[in-house]
Amino acid sequence: MHPWSCSVRICVIRVGPANPGVMSATVQLNFIVKSIAGLVTAGISDHIGRRPVTLICLSLLLAGGFKDLFWLVAWNHGIL
């Protein structure tokens, strides 16, 4: 068994049952945020270029991913 699969199941069990209303609101919020972010980044990329905007967005995405990875590893090792 892969070591991460057990951790993911434990995490899901701790969160509890999924609420359909919350899940629907999360999907709708995702669409709204992506739409607004697309409008903002399009305007910025017209001024400074596509490559810097892409690098900034990629850096933010990686920072968010590392944050989640840190919390997952810390939780698995009992630090939290």
pLDDT given for residue 80 in this prediction: 62
pTM here is: 0.57
Tens of pLDDT, residue by residue over 30-47, are 899 999 999 999 999 999
Does residue 15 belong to any structural domain of this protein?
no
Does residue 72 belong to any structural domain of this protein?
yes
Does residue 5 belong to any structural domain of this protein?
no
Does residue 75 belong to any structural domain of this protein?
yes
- When divided into structural domains, the chain yields a total of 1
Residue 60 lies in domain: 26-80
DSSP the chain: --HHHHHHHHHHHHH-SPPHHHHHHHHHHHHHHHHHHHHHHHHHHHHH-HHHHHHHHHHHHHHHHHHHHHHHHHHHTT--
Does residue 16 belong to any structural domain of this protein?
no
Does residue 11 belong to any structural domain of this protein?
no
Task: Compute the mean pLDDT over every residue in the chain, rounded to the nearest whole number.
Answer: 77
